[in-house]
Amino acid sequence: MESRFTERMEAMIQTWRGSRRYTLFIAILLCASMLMPVAASAAYYNTYSTVTTLGNANDCYAAQGFAVGSTYVYSVKVNSDNNKAVIYRTKMSDGTTTLMTNGDNGSTYATYLGHANDVVLSSNDGNYYMFVVTMNAGSMSLVKLKYVGTTYYKVGNYTIKYDGADKAMSGVKITSKDASNINFLFKSGRTLYRGSLPLNATSGTINVTNSFSLNIEDAKVNGSTISNITSYAFQGFGYYNNTIYVPMTYKNVSIVLVYRNVSSASGTIQADPNLSFRVTSSAFPDLFEIEGVGVANGDKLWFSTNRRTESGDTAHDGVHYFNDFSAF
């Protein structure tokens, strides 16, 4: 009896020891897995929703500059000669779109906005303004509009200079302002420039400095580089929370590259490999061109487009946002 009892006790002890070692082994594995870094998956967005289509008032068929506010977005369209521009205001919540009025003469177009390639909004002492880059060099390279509701008035124009020479810009955003100055980030191609302007100036010169350039060749969209990315056309750009969103287009494909920490950027900077956007449009095979982008209320990424089903199609330019993305 004593022998059998002893054998059973020894077996139980061995089982307990084995179980204890197994439990300890599992605990070590769990701890190790918690300490190991987890590779983040790249976020990629390639679907969108359309909020409104834009008309062609005053023979202005080409969508250009775009700006995002807290309630409305603003889209500029120009005619083929760049001597007429119209501005549409769209309510983001329901798509209601209004053709804005030129308060200086009562018409619904302006003759001084040139190509109007990009727009940025600003406010000061309860007044609301738009700054528009015309892509012209000289005293009309940047134009300031004051807007009240759906009516705008020209209140300023400025010369942009780089290294003492007049400089045309294709993009503009405001990075900061204080009681005295507005600080701008301008873009020409893949190069970004910094410049400032007195807060209430109605004319003058903005002397810009070369700040940084964008590497596009190594930029990844959905995890892969684009072999013909140098064939893509630059447009305006978006700015939010020290990050710029840069749209580029090739035929019926538009992408948006993301570059972070631009306040301290210098030299050539790299795109964020973990966030990218692309639309390849079979519905608009002739052209799907994102003209401008902007983040609204820290959330959706909005954009405007030129869209064509075929050459000569002018019926489908619109205002949209990327599905599922939030900048929060």
How many structural domains comprise the chain? 2
Q: Are residues 86 and 30 in the same domain?
A: no
What are the pLDDT digits (tens) for 209-228?
999 999 999 999 999 999 99
Q: Give the confidence band of 5 by pLDDT, cuts at 50, 70, 90.
A: very low
pLDDT of residue 328: 79
The C-alpha atoms of residue 294 and residue 16 are separated, in whole angstroms, by 64
Which residue from 103, 202, 200, 83 is spatially nearest to 147, judged by alpha carbons? 103
Instruction: Classify residue 13: in a domain, yes or no.
Output: yes
18 and 108 within one domain: no
Q: Which alpha helices (DSSP H) does the chain contain, by range?
A: 2-35
Whether 20 and 116 map to the same domain: the answer is: no
248 and 292 in a single domain? The answer is: yes
- CA dist 226 and 152 (Å) reads 41
Q: 254 and 312, same structural domain?
A: yes
Same domain, 149 and 23: no
User: pLDDT digits over 164-200, tens only?
Assistant: 999 999 999 999 999 999 999 999 999 999 999 999 9
Domain that holds residue 228: 43-129+143-156+210-322
Residues 299 and 217 in one domain: yes
Span 38-88, pLDDT tens digits:
334 689 999 999 999 999 999 999 999 999 999 999 999 999 999 999 999
Do the domain assignments include residue 300?
A: yes
Average pLDDT over residues 227-231: 98
pLDDT digits (tens, 9 = 90+) for 279-306: 999 999 999 999 999 999 999 999 999 9
Q: Are residues 80 and 1 located together in one domain of the fold?
A: no
